[in-house]
Chain A
């Protein structure tokens, strides 16, 4: 037997496959792919225990580019497939990757149930507010009035807010980031990885071909400071250049309000503190929309709870504790029997 040398520390590059990445030049997916590969390297994740599961769409090509185990499945069903993977082997670290159409339209039902069951998955929703792979139709997150091949006069259905959806179905971890936030994104992903249960991460992602600039009103450098608030548990909800703005809780109207420090007698003490275990606050943060509010990024909500596959196997462990019970012959003979001589 050879003595095994300890494995060298892996880098982001070790998580990349030899496959040519085939996204459009300039697609936000490249940055997310790099962010995920960086995150796994920093976490010292074990490639053999890591599984990426995806549905259909541009984002769903993700597994082919990860040097881990991977399963590219069918549209919308990745949360269900991933649930099966976790049920069979709870030890695996399972990531689910998909776009807004994949996970909120055709797969909305499965996304809902994976989240509310609290299956220990990292669910990464790449939200670009459009269908990319099917060539530019509006998606369930598209704004009203989105002109697309299927809505030449503008879309008329109300968009869904991914983070509010996840909160509403009982999610235990809801976070947001963006493709261009290269430092922020890995930090959010690390938190997601460490959370036991369903970690839902909405990543605003730019589709350069069909919906270019959909998020520029809060992602462009010139407006970033004013239009993004990066929330941190236990820290005051401050944003703006020099952190001069903040959010206060208007208790009479039960809503958040944007204020400026130093105006109307507002001091740092008045600013609301982010409590990521407060679902109500998380909901208010998720609701915020420019131009009146900044977009809330970071971990909006995180509250530990028993994860599904652990509870499933706890029942099985309880049932199998008494090894004698698992006797197939006894089971075959269960109930009333009789002997024919």
Chain B
């Protein structure tokens, strides 16, 4: 494109930095998610490692300019391995006063704040709760403030395309993006290509956006750029060679479910009910019909679970998905799947808080619900996703366990993982080991609840199979025939065998490894789920500082890996950071009678690396 080909003029020397954290924040109509995803793509193309954290309001379109309508997108990118979306911000771009007031606390001391001064009108200031304009008093003295009237500059840049003022202002996010591209010496071409494709039917809109993008970039290039703003160079990271894409947790889990079903040679019936942040999975799988994937948007959570169980009964792989409160509604049906010993995969994209809680904020407080949350002694395997790309393998593993052991399996992911993205070394589907399911067709000596000696799984029989007609149900059933049984001894035996079957899975999962460091260190930091990144970075940093600390990160929550008790026993101290009030800590203390200590946080935000470093230091430097 000629717009871009305009000579990139020689620049002054850029500051070389190892990594940077940038957040775009604005009104939910300002296109901040789009801006962030463009920046992500460009960072990836430049060879940086990265992690992102989209943060949007629960309201669809809150009144413009209000604090509860602020939408933000954060990216941490670097020349080294990036483990989190970043603690504190190097650069905050705000498109209005509400975005400033809600995000300023996350900016580093002396960090850069770029504000669209054109949006700091009296009306917007009042809506954000300011009594005077923070751009005009000394309240931002601790930061490098860059005031630019992006609104006016955008309108000027796009006036040749004959758009209304309102339409013109819509491209100010591209103006801001152009400026940040210039700061980090990034190429615009990918964004230009995207805009041309996206607005192919609306060439004026495409041209206006491209003009705004170029204008923001040119603003940086020319003398108009304030001196406060630096220019930076972030070199490519040392990343394993191969073909990459960015992936969110929702994408990786949906791809893993599909891959798992293909490895098992089963059709998927994905039955779900919309809920934040789980809906993304339904959207992803609904677009995979070419693989024969059935998706069913049920009338409620209970129906979604029930239909998935019906599908499993009929020989498909039933999958249901929700977020915490929706999982609560499904629990009776999950109990039915446990009782009838049918495979079922349940994906729980955890959100914060009891009841409706904080729908768009993240937490990992459904561990109790997953492990203990059913009536009767109703055990089921629980496994967890640690990073946005990890969902692929975890989902495959869930399908493997569910079909091999004829059991529901709960996968715990969370709102952060679901929405956040990271680069993913794309695997070759052919490299995964198959685990084809065998349906029983032999009527000889058939009983619906006779078990495989090794797995204790009962046979899976598709209705439609000759001479194997049988009845199953939630009422306690006779150990082999499956007929209704109230016999006390039989119930004891059935309860025991259900527990033994699930506990036996410990023999079919890997032993727990020390993720970072060595067994026997002075302190083990034990985590699960999305705390992987910050714990990993903090433990590595503290080891670089010479502290004797190790990281243990669990994928398997129930049953726990068979060597875990012994492994944990080798450490002097155990610290369990969790975004809950101590649920894994309870489980570990209960199972191993170990003095595990918690580091707990429930403010809807991921752990900061600094918080974990402080906690590790406190325990090792006393």
Contact, CB under 8 Å: A48 / B469? yes
Tell me if B292 is interfacial: C-beta within 8 Å of chain A: yes
How far in angstroms is the closest Cβ of chain B from A73? 6
Tell me if B484 is interfacial: C-beta within 8 Å of chain A: yes
How far in angstroms is the closest Cβ of chain A from B179? 23
Contact, CB under 8 Å: A71 / B310? yes
| Contact A320:B292 (CB < 8 A) given known A340-B240, A340-B244 | yes
Residue from the list A72, A87, A110 in contact with B296, Cβ < 8 A: A87
Residue from the list B310, B340, B467, B473 in contact with A85, Cβ < 8 A: B310
Contact, CB under 8 Å: B267 / A77? no
Residue on A nearest B41 in the bound complex, by CB: A336
Contact, CB under 8 Å: B240 / A88? no
Instruction: Identify which of residues 72-100 in chain A touch chain B, using a CB-to-CB cut-off of 8 Å.
Output: 72-74, 77, 80-89, 91-92
Tell me if A322 is interfacial: C-beta within 8 Å of chain B: yes
Tell me if A3 is interfacial: C-beta within 8 Å of chain B: no
Contacts of A337 in B (CB 8 A): 243-245, 426
Tell me if B601 is interfacial: C-beta within 8 Å of chain A: no
Contact, CB under 8 Å: A315 / B289? yes
- Chain B 472-511 interface mask (CB, 8 Å, partner A; 1/0): 1111000000011000000000000000000000000000
Residue from the list A66, A91, A320 in contact with B290, Cβ < 8 A: A320
Q: How distant is the Cα of A17 from the Cα of B289 in the complex, in angstroms?
A: 40
Contacts of B289 in A (CB 8 A): 315-316, 319-320
Contact, CB under 8 Å: A88 / B315? yes
How far in angstroms is the closest Cβ of chain B from A169? 11
Tell me if B255 is interfacial: C-beta within 8 Å of chain A: yes
Residue from the list B290, B307, B333, B472 in contact with A326, Cβ < 8 A: B290
How many of chain A's residues have a CB under 8 angstroms from any CB in B?
57
- Chain A 322-341 interface mask (CB, 8 Å, partner B; 1/0): 10011011011111111111
- Chain B 272-298 interface mask (CB, 8 Å, partner A; 1/0): 000000000000000011111110101
Residue on A nearest B430 in the bound complex, by CB: A329
Contacts of B128 in A (CB 8 A): none
Instruction: Identify which of residues 30-45 in chain B touch chain A, using a CB-to-CB cut-off of 8 Å.
Output: 41, 44-45
Q: Which of B288, B308, B311, B463 has the most CB of A within 10 A?
A: B463
Q: Which of B336, B428, B465 has the most CB of A within 10 A?
A: B336
Tell me if B225 is interfacial: C-beta within 8 Å of chain A: no
Contacts of A86 in B (CB 8 A): 310, 314
Q: Which of B239, B314, B430 has the most CB of A within 10 A?
A: B314
How far in angstroms is the closest Cβ of chain A from B402? 15
Instruction: Identify which of residues 561-609 in chain B touch chain A, using a CB-to-CB cut-off of 8 Å.
Output: none
Contact, CB under 8 Å: B474 / A73? yes
| Contact A331:B255 (CB < 8 A) given known A72-B473, A316-B292 | yes
Tell me if B462 is interfacial: C-beta within 8 Å of chain A: yes
Residue on B nearest A63 in the bound complex, by CB: B471
| Contact A72:B242 (CB < 8 A) given known A19-B483, A82-B310, A320-B289 | no
Contact, CB under 8 Å: B474 / A85? no
Tell me if A131 is interfacial: C-beta within 8 Å of chain B: no
Contacts of B613 in A (CB 8 A): none
Contact, CB under 8 Å: A74 / B306? yes
Contacts of B467 in A (CB 8 A): 48
Q: How distant is the Cα of A68 from the Cα of B560 in the complex, in angstroms?
A: 40
| Contact A72:B298 (CB < 8 A) given known A331-B258, A340-B239 | no
Contacts of A77 in B (CB 8 A): 302-303, 306, 333
Tell me if A223 is interfacial: C-beta within 8 Å of chain B: no
Tell me if A53 is interfacial: C-beta within 8 Å of chain B: yes
Residue from the list A66, A72, A87, A331 in contact with B474, Cβ < 8 A: A72
Q: How distant is the Cα of A7 from the Cα of B571 in the complex, in angstroms?
A: 69
How far in angstroms is the closest Cβ of chain B from A120? 13
- Chain B 300-322 interface mask (CB, 8 Å, partner A; 1/0): 10111011111111111010000
Tell me if A64 is interfacial: C-beta within 8 Å of chain B: yes
Contacts of A326 in B (CB 8 A): 290-292
Contact, CB under 8 Å: A109 / B190? no
How far in angstroms is the closest Cβ of chain B from A80? 4
Contacts of A316 in B (CB 8 A): 289, 292-294
Contact, CB under 8 Å: B245 / A336? yes
Residue on A nearest B463 in the bound complex, by CB: A69
Contact, CB under 8 Å: A339 / B243? yes
Contact, CB under 8 Å: B300 / A48? no
Q: Which of A49, A319, A340 has the most CB of B within 10 A?
A: A340
Q: How distant is the Cα of A19 from the Cα of B478 in the complex, in angstroms?
A: 13
Contacts of A53 in B (CB 8 A): 310
Contact, CB under 8 Å: A85 / B313? yes
Tell me if A70 is interfacial: C-beta within 8 Å of chain B: yes
Contact, CB under 8 Å: A328 / B310? no
Tell me if A179 is interfacial: C-beta within 8 Å of chain B: no
Q: How distant is the Cα of A115 from the Cα of B300 in the complex, in angstroms?
A: 15
Contact, CB under 8 Å: B463 / A85? yes
Q: How distant is the Cα of A227 from the Cα of B314 in the complex, in angstroms?
A: 43
Tell me if B559 is interfacial: C-beta within 8 Å of chain A: no
How far in angstroms is the closest Cβ of chain A from B367? 25
Tell me if A209 is interfacial: C-beta within 8 Å of chain B: no
Residue on B nearest A72 in the bound complex, by CB: B473
Tell me if B354 is interfacial: C-beta within 8 Å of chain A: no
Contacts of B336 in A (CB 8 A): 73-74
Q: How distant is the Cα of A67 from the Cα of B427 in the complex, in angstroms?
A: 47
Tell me if A233 is interfacial: C-beta within 8 Å of chain B: no
Tell me if B264 is interfacial: C-beta within 8 Å of chain A: no
Contact, CB under 8 Å: B245 / A71? no
Instruction: Identify which of residues 228-287 in chain B touch chain A, using a CB-to-CB cut-off of 8 Å.
Output: 239-246, 255, 258-259, 262, 267, 269, 271
Contacts of A333 in B (CB 8 A): 243, 245, 426
Contact, CB under 8 Å: B426 / A341? no
Residue from the list A51, A109, A315 in contact with B303, Cβ < 8 A: A109
Q: How distant is the Cα of A210 from the Cα of B41 in the complex, in angstroms?
A: 69
How far in angstroms is the closest Cβ of chain B from A310? 13
How far in angstroms is the closest Cβ of chain B from A12? 16
Residue on A nearest B289 in the bound complex, by CB: A319
9 tightest Cβ-Cβ pairs between the two chains A and B: A84-B310, A72-B473, A84-B307, A88-B314, A70-B471, A80-B306, A319-B289, A80-B303, A81-B310
Binding site for A on B (CB under 8 A): 41, 44-45, 47, 190, 239-246, 255, 258-259, 262, 267, 269, 271, 288-294, 296, 298-300, 302-304, 306-316, 318, 332-333, 335-336, 340, 426-430, 462-475, 483-484
Known: A51-B314, A340-B240, A340-B244. 15 other contacts (CB 8 A): A19-B483, A48-B469, A68-B469, A69-B463, A77-B302, A80-B306, A83-B303, A87-B316, A88-B294, A92-B464, A312-B296, A328-B258, A332-B426, A337-B426, A338-B243
Task: Show 20 residue pairs from A and B whose CB-CB distance is below 8 angstroms, ordered by the A residue.
Answer: A48-B467, A48-B469, A68-B469, A69-B469, A72-B472, A74-B333, A77-B303, A83-B310, A84-B314, A85-B311, A85-B314, A86-B314, A92-B464, A320-B290, A326-B292, A332-B427, A335-B245, A335-B246, A336-B190, A340-B240
